[in-house]
Structures are given as C-alpha cells and as structure tokens.
Chains A and B, each alone.
Chain A
Amino acid sequence: MSAPLLELENLRVSFPTAHGRVEVVKGISFTLGRERLGIVGESGSGKSMTGRSILKLIRSPGKVTADRMTFDGVDLLGQSERQMRAIRGARISMVMQDPKFSLNPVMTVGDQIAEALRFHARLSKGERKARVLSMLEAVRIDDPERVSRLYPHEVSGGMGQRIMIAMMLIPEPDLLIADEPTSALDVSVQSQVLDIIDDLIRTKGMGLIFISHDLNLVSRYCDRILVMNSGRVVEECAASELADASHPYTRGLLAAMPRLDETREELPVLDRASWGGT
C-alpha cells in the first residue's frame, strides 16, 4: 500500500454536560489508505462523531483532540476554518443519512451539483453543465437532462441520495465519508446506491469510510471493519473474516440479528456486563 491517506492517533471528542465533560470518542486510532473502511456500531457508539471530527464539523462546545490527525500529509488539526473549507468537498466529501435535509429545497438539482463544482474548479458554463450531466449519468440517473431541472421535492428518496452522491463526488475528492448513506432508503434501492458508490470509489481509486449500524451491509461493501462501542474500537478485522470475530460485543451483535432462514426460538441478547460496556 502507498502512503496512508488518513492517519488518526488517539482521537477524542468530548461534550460538556451537567455532570462535567463526557467523552463520546475515547481515543481511537487508525490509518486509511485508498481502501474501503467500515465503521460499525450502535447508536451512541461515537461512530458518527468520528466521521464528523475528521472534517472538523464538531461544533463548539464539543471539543476534538488528537495526538495526530493528518490527511495526505496535511495536519488537519492545525488547519484554520477557511483552510478546512477548501478541503471539505474538494478533497474529503461526506454523504449523510437523509437527502431531504441535505439538499437546498429552492434550487434545482443541476444547479446544486454545479455549485459544488464552482467552488473547486474553474470551468466555463458549458463545461460545467457537461460535467454535471455526466456525473448524474454516473450515478445511474436515466434522464439527466430532465432530472437536473427538477427540485429536490420532486425526486424520490433513492434518487435524492444518488443526487447527493453525485454532488459529493463531482469535485473528485480523495476520500468519501458516507455516514449511514442508505438507512433512509428501501432495501432494493439501498444496494443500488451502494453499488454506485462502490463502483465510483474503485474506478477513481478513492478512500472510503463507510459508517453504519448494519454489520452485514458493511461487510459486503468494505475491505476492513472497525467495530465501535461506547467511544472505543473494540474490534478491527478484515471484512471477510467478520464471521470469526473474537470480541464478545461483535459476536453478540452478529448473533442478535435475525436471519432470513431463522430457526432459533429466541434471539441471544447482548450481555452488556460481560465486557464492561454500557
């Protein structure tokens, strides 16, 4: 593998509460090359906070500290807010859960995607339009001309999410952070959207951080998996070896999921005391 794209060492995120500062991410470290990394965990595990802190999207009074947080040789911690804006979108993009809240309701889809391009590249109007249309085609939208003139409320959830992906990928970033990109979508659309992401990541040689609560989904679309629980990484393994996971939490999660060919009378419940989790 070439030099790592992203290096995190001892990342901590904390928020003040009535009972003092509480850490939601408690010192996690990992390096990422141009590969697909999955971060799995339940709600409150700190997985989303990890993703957001890479882009420095944690708002005050939340606090991010790390011994080291570099992206392609750039120290992210030392970047000013203005420098970060140049990195966000252009070099690191983020796709979030619900397209409804991420798209501007009073701007056409085409204009919004073009907007993402405007900040990061100098192109003529015609070139921009061509790029937008080819990007929409890349996310498998059949009639890009027509769709680019639609407003967000006129498109379905699955299409909205594909438009979001188009918007995030058009500046050709080096790293895509996808935070539960498909949990608002139907299962059949889910795999379509993930296939598209997967395809684009592979052909463009980008890095991917796929954050999700769904172990199966992550193991299908990633090379490597981090399992998080209450702010810590409890297990790190290759996606193909998930079934042989050793940590009781991971094993518990795997067992708690009902299967399509379910024969168990009762689902095993996590014994949270067994590894000192919450």
Chain B
Amino acid sequence: MSAIRLENLDISYGETRITHGISLDIAEGESFALVGESGSGKSTVLRAIAGLAPEWTGRIELLGRPRGHGIDKAKVRDCQMVFQDPYGSIHPRKTIDATLSEPLAIHGFGNRDERVEEMLKAVGLDRRFRFRFPHQLSGGQRQRVAIARALMLEPRILLLDEPTSALDVSVQAEILNLLKRLRREQNLTFLLVTHNLPVVSFLCERLAVMRQGRIVEVANVDQLKKGAFAEPYSRELFTASGGV
C-alpha cells in the first residue's frame, strides 16, 4: 500500500498558484525526499499533505484513504510533521513535559507520564530535561523535542521540513542518526523536504527534484550518488552541491 499518494495536485495561496500537477506515489516504509531551491514549492506540498495549506485541487491520499482540505482529528494520528526552526516550533512558555503531553491530552491517551518518559528516552534526551523550559535547551535538543512531539501520537508517516538546516554540522549528524534509527525501529514513512543533497543521500531512498512548482525528475538515491540524472536542472543542482 502506498503511504502518500498525490494526484494532479495544484496548490494555491490566495490568487497565486504555487504548484502545478504534482503526482507522486510514496510506498509505506519508504524514505522519500523533495528537493529544490527556495520558491520551488517543495514546502508547500508538505504543508498541503499535513493540512496546513487547505487551498488545493487534485487528490491527496494517506495510507490509501483520501484526505480532506482541513485538519481532522483522525488523520493527524497517521501523519505528523517536524518543522525547520527548532526555536520557533516549540511553545516558549511551556515546559518540555507540557509540550509533549499536549497531543496525548488532546486525544485522551492514558498513562501520559510513562509515555512522555519513554519518548524522551527514544529521542535520546535525558530525564532531567523533562521539566525544563525551551530556552534552557540547545538547538539540537529542541529539535529532539520537536521530533518527540511529532511521534507522541504514534504516526506512521513523518513529514520533515528541513529538519536540520538550522543546526550545526555536528548536531545535524546526531539528528540525522536519530531520524534514521527511529525510522528503522518504528517502520516510519519519511517525506523529507530539503535543499541539501548530501542529507538526502544519507537518509532517503528516492527523491523528486522540484522547480517552479513542478516535478522535474524522480530519481533513486543511486542515481544521486553517481550524479546520473536525466534532466539538466537536476545535474545543475548536483554540481552546485559540490558533485562532480
């Protein structure tokens, strides 16, 4: 079964059309990347799948079932998102504990204490972080919290919007390792949006290159490693990223 299926997806913000006829099929358990430069519409596709960009036509299916335009309470348990900015994506005045308990409270989950502790452990955060406020955490630790929050509802699909681009290289390595391990352990499907091709090479199996709201090319990661793209624009991106 496919985890995410997009068919002829046109997304708009008001009068502006952002994407044109996006069609994609991402299998369950796969790790797929959308790459492109700013303005290519890659993040918008992610937001539409999440339900944050409700103005679209076409079809979005999650785990075989079509999704509506807004956010509904049943869908959010299948599909969660990790945002780019670890500083802006966590409520500044709530403890980590409150941030992680909130999704459980919304959905009426029981034994929250245990679940929070368990999740902190899973994302490699010590217990003593539990009652800290976000400003007492570093960027990498915050991003771990954001990943933990996304996984609290035990989703099967994780949407990742440039999850490491705001982090230092050494911290990026830790977060990438974490994501890879979590995916293996929980059999998650990843849809990663990034401009960083080496990250794709490490974390993903297939990628789609986007430009000006259209998909230029869908390739597998072996093609990426060799730079064996069919389209000139993809090769351009490859060279700009230091590929030869």
Contacts and interface: CB of A to CB of B under 8 A. Distances in A.
Chain A directly contacts chain B within the complex, with at least one CB pair under 8 Å: yes
Given A261-B225, A262-B225, A269-B173, A190 B201 contact: no
Interface in A239-277: 252-253, 256-262, 264-270
A264 B201 CA distance: 10
B237 interface: yes
A79 interface: no
Contact of B202 (A157, A253, A258): A258
Interface stretch (B110-118, B129-137, B164-172): B164-172
Contacts of A268: 173
A266 B177 contact: yes
B195 interface: yes
A106 interface: no
A188 interface: yes
B123 interface: no
A267 B168 contact: no
A260 B170 contact: no
A258 B198 contact: yes
A261 B226 contact: yes
B190 to A, nearest CB: 15
Which secondary structure dominates where chain B touches chain A? helix
A259 B198 contact: yes
Nearest to B180: A266
B231 interface: no
A161 B238 CA distance: 23
A31 interface: no
Interface string B136-177: 000100000000000000000000000000001111111011
A95 B237 CA distance: 25
Contacts of B237: 187-188
Given A186-B38, A266-B180, A256 B225 contact: no
A260 B201 contact: yes
Contacts, number: 77
Interface residues of B, number: 30
A262 B202 contact: yes
A256 B169 contact: yes
Contacts of A256: 169-170, 172-173
A42 B170 contact: yes
Contact of A258 (B139, B176, B227, B243): B176
Interface string A24-40: 00000000000000000
B46 to A, nearest CB: 18
A187 B198 contact: no
B219 interface: no
Contacts of A215: 169
Contacts of B170: 42, 252-253, 256, 269-270
B177 A269 contact: yes
The range of chain A's interface size is: 20 to 34
A221 to B, nearest CB: 12
A10 interface: no
Contact of A186 (B168, B169, B171, B195): B195
A267 B173 contact: yes
Interface in B205-244: 224-227, 236-238, 240-243
Given A42-B168, A188-B240, A213-B168, A262 B201 contact: yes
A102 interface: no
A216 B197 CA distance: 14
A155 to B, nearest CB: 14
B224 A260 contact: yes
A160 B176 CA distance: 32
Interface centre among B139, B202, B225, by most A CB within 10 Å?
B202
A266 B170 CA distance: 13
B206 to A, nearest CB: 15
Contacts of A213: 168-169
B65 to A, nearest CB: 34
A213 B171 CA distance: 12
A43 interface: yes
Contact of A43 (B168, B176, B202, B227): B168
B177 A216 contact: no
A191 interface: yes
A198 to B, nearest CB: 15
Contacts of A262: 198, 201-202, 225
A260 B243 contact: yes
B37 interface: yes
Given A187-B195, A268-B173, 12 more contacts: A187-B37, A188-B240, A189-B37, A191-B240, A257-B169, A258-B198, A260-B238, A260-B242, A261-B201, A261-B225, A262-B198, A262-B201
14 contacts: A187-B195, A190-B240, A213-B168, A213-B169, A215-B169, A256-B170, A258-B176, A258-B202, A259-B198, A260-B197, A260-B201, A261-B201, A266-B180, A267-B202
